[in-house]
Structure 1
Amino acid sequence: MSGATAFRRRYGASPLHLLLVLASFALTAYAGTRLLKGDAVGVALWFVGAALLHDLVLLPLYSVLDRGAQLPGAPWPSVNYVRVPAFVSGLLLLVWWPLVLRRVGHYTATTGLPAGGFLGRWLLITAALFAASAATLLVRRWHASGPARRAARRRRRDRGTPR
């Protein structure tokens, strides 16, 4: 039995997997030390506040909305056409919220770029995501209804011709 096979049996994955996991831990530790170097208390408060906001407010809110969208008789047949653009839009807002809400005063001084316009761009991207999702839903419904449309056309054609 080779050493790699014995390692895989004991560890459960290849040695490359272990190397990548250890490298990711090292990168995370480095990023954490760099992050906490400036304002450790502020960062800790932000993490605790974000966890509490997510777990106590946002998670119940979007869970209820998602369950409501899945109820029988909901206005849309596939909730994923709403979920995906909402998730991407929310993720973009999460990443760029200081700029979207104009909460960063030092942005222009640091980058030399104007801080305005992010709200409009985020709204346009969100609208485009939902429009693309709606177009995808319409195209898929159109293609799915193809056999039914062809059958109805045949029935109309057969009724119109004498036998």
Structure 2
Amino acid sequence: MPQHKTSSAQTCPVARSLDLIGDRWMLLVVRDAFDGVQRFGDFQRSLGVARNILSDRLRRLVEADILQVQPASDGSAYQEYVLTDIGKSLFPIVVALRQWGERHLFTHGEHHSLLIDKRTRKPVPFMIPRSKKGSALSAEQTEVQKVSRP
């Protein structure tokens, strides 16, 4: 069986990212944090995940500086998990996964949650990679420049 490479050995940004946040629970914790969930018990209720798994994922997200722990905003003895700037920069990833799921995992007319623009109250437009000039880029119009090994 092949040995899994550690993150530091990976030259692919996708592989390194998946090593850190590719686990189902990691991404769902981040999704819930974007939805305003901040307390352990609220994450657990929302996700229905075992306490030990949630504790591990929250610890790893804090260690990766995606979440930070702070005293509860209501002055209680609880602590809250809030997104850092690094965590907030995961928003396009969560949106891309959401939009892919909306397009490919629901039948026509099937109900699902919607991501809406608070200003316009309309669904967020579909994200697509764009060139510097603003035109849409397809996968066929891009390539990965691999790292050459000495």
The structure with more helix, counted as a fraction of residues: 1
Larger radius of gyration: 1
The TM-score normalised by the length of structure 1 is 0.21
The structure with more strand, counted as a fraction of residues: 2
The TM-score normalised by the length of structure 2 is 0.22
